[in-house]
Amino acid sequence: MKALILSGGKGTRLRPLTYTGAKQLVPVANKPILWYGIEAIVRAGITDIGIIISPETGEEIQKKTGDGSRFGAKITYIHQDSPDGLAHAVKIAQPFLTDSPFVMYLGDNLIAEDLDLYLQDFKEKQLDALILLRKVSNPTAFGVAKINEKGEVLELIEKPKNPPSNLALVGIYFFSSAIHEVINHLKPSARGELEITDAIQSLIENKKPVSAQELKNWWLDTGKKDDLLEANRIILDTNLTADYKYEITDNSQIIGRVKIGKNTTIINSTIRGPVIIGDNCHLENCFIGPYSSIADNVHLSEIDLEHSVILKSAEVKGIEQRIVDSVIGQRAKIHFVPKRPKALSFMIGDDSQIELT
């Protein structure tokens, strides 16, 4: 059994963060999103992993993630020159996958459950495809499955105007080698891509064994800011254990589950967990509220923060209003100017949003 993780794409929904980095490396609870998928695959006993990368971000992903040894795995990087669809990614990965069954995992997805039970079901039933589904409130935004009472998949429809169910396809699939023959005969969709939904539909129409299982717990596609913050909240809520390696002054307070890295200084501040703070940070005269993740080398002073993600080497000082529901990029600087200027001057990335109240 092998694994194929898709880690290409341009991450347009997370801009401006993804103008300068891969969306799969944006951290959730101070760990790249991509790594959660790798760890889930290794826990299921699969250690031969291929990762699809793009020309824009592939080098960064390789440098950060390495050869897989830190995860107990072997990673092979596979270049996809243009984002021509999920089925196209499988097609170019065939020399790596050979005739092995495999799990395909979209690198910006997170699920609560382990893969073991689904992998066992896939093997025991000798399926050609097993898809994972989750009930959603807005099925028109997803690929949607129509299934019968036996869990057999009858039809897949991509972003239907009139959805036959509210069961959306989760970005995790199990395939036998039969998928390769189907993809070899697949034609591009109206948007010019080889669609994995079309490939699975072809398996269904050819009476191949295709089944589905519904997730009972949470699933998040972290491609948007709000989903990223929700993933951060859930991971901190469920996975965080308290750990202290910091220097703290007598007039500071640590409350609840808080993990703080080495060489971090806390001065005259209150931190109320769940919160994770990285190495070499300096916090002074701050309140850090629940569900906040602060990466390495961050400098914060005179701020009130909660339910936010602050990336590496950012600096935030002297902000009078509470900062909530925010994602602040690497090396970003936010400073309060005491004297209100007569005019405002900005340099901001595309797709940014600023609210002045």
Length of the chain as a residue count: 357
Is pLDDT above 90 for 248? no
Domain annotation covers residue 202: yes
The closest of 19, 20, 17 to 28, measured between CA atoms, is: 17
Boundaries of domain holding 85: 2-235
How is residue 307 written in tokens? 């339910």
Segments in the chain forming alpha helices (H): 33-43, 58-65, 86-92, 94-97, 116-124, 178-184, 196-205, 225-239
Is pLDDT above 80 for 115? yes
Tokens 């980095």 sit on residue:
21
CA angle at 24 for the pair 301 and 38, rounded to the nearest 5°: 115
Is pLDDT above 60 for 351? no
Is pLDDT above 80 for 221? no
Domain annotation covers residue 352: no
The CA distance from 188 to 84, in Å, is: 9
pLDDT bracket for residue 238 (50, 70, 90): confident
Shared domain check, 198 and 92: yes
What would the mean pLDDT of 176-188 be, rounded to a whole number? 94
Average pLDDT, the chain: 86
33-37, 298-302, 318-322: least confident range: 318-322
Q: Does 50 or 320 have the greater pLDDT score?
A: 50
Reported as a single tens digit per residue, the pLDDT across 65-113 is: 999 999 999 999 999 988 888 999 999 999 999 999 999 999 888 888 8
Shared domain check, 145 and 60: yes
Q: Residue 97 in 3-state DSSP?
A: helix
Shared domain check, 230 and 261: no
The CA distance from 311 to 278, in Å, is: 10
Is pLDDT above 70 for 251? yes
What would the mean pLDDT of 2-6 be, rounded to a whole number? 96
Domain boundary among 235, 254, 282: 235
Q: Does 150 or 272 have the greater pLDDT score?
A: 272
Q: What are phi and psi of 145, to 5 degrees?
A: -110, 140
The DSSP-derived string for 14-27 is GTTGGGSS-GGGSE
The DSSP-derived string for 130-148 is EEEEEE-S-GGGSEEEEE-
What pLDDT was estimated at residue 344? 47
Segments in 209-264 forming alpha helices (H): 225-239
What pLDDT was estimated at residue 321? 83
The closest of 117, 92, 72 to 4, measured between CA atoms, is: 92
What would the mean pLDDT of 274-278 be, rounded to a whole number? 95
Task: Give yes or no for a contact between 242 and 259, defined as CB atoms under 8 angstroms apart.
Answer: yes
Q: What is the DSSP letter of 60?
A: H
Is pLDDT above 80 for 243? no
The CATH number covering residue 264 comes to 2.160.10.10
Specify the number of domains making up the chain: 2
Shared domain check, 114 and 14: yes
The CA distance from 208 to 243, in Å, is: 50
What would the mean pLDDT of 46-57 be, rounded to a whole number? 92
Shared domain check, 316 and 179: no
Handedness of CA 272, 36, 58, 11 (dihedral sign): negative
What pLDDT was estimated at residue 222? 67
Can you count the helices (H) and strands (E) in the chain? Answer: 8, 30
Domain annotation covers residue 59: yes
pLDDT bracket for residue 332 (50, 70, 90): confident
Shared domain check, 200 and 290: no
Q: Does 244 or 71 have the greater pLDDT score?
A: 71
Domain boundary among 192, 216, 235: 235
Is pLDDT above 60 for 262? yes
What pLDDT was estimated at residue 66? 94
What pLDDT was estimated at residue 223? 67
Domain annotation covers residue 185: yes
Percent of the chain with pLDDT over 90: 51
Shared domain check, 269 and 210: no
pLDDT bracket for residue 348 (50, 70, 90): very low
The CA distance from 129 to 122, in Å, is: 8
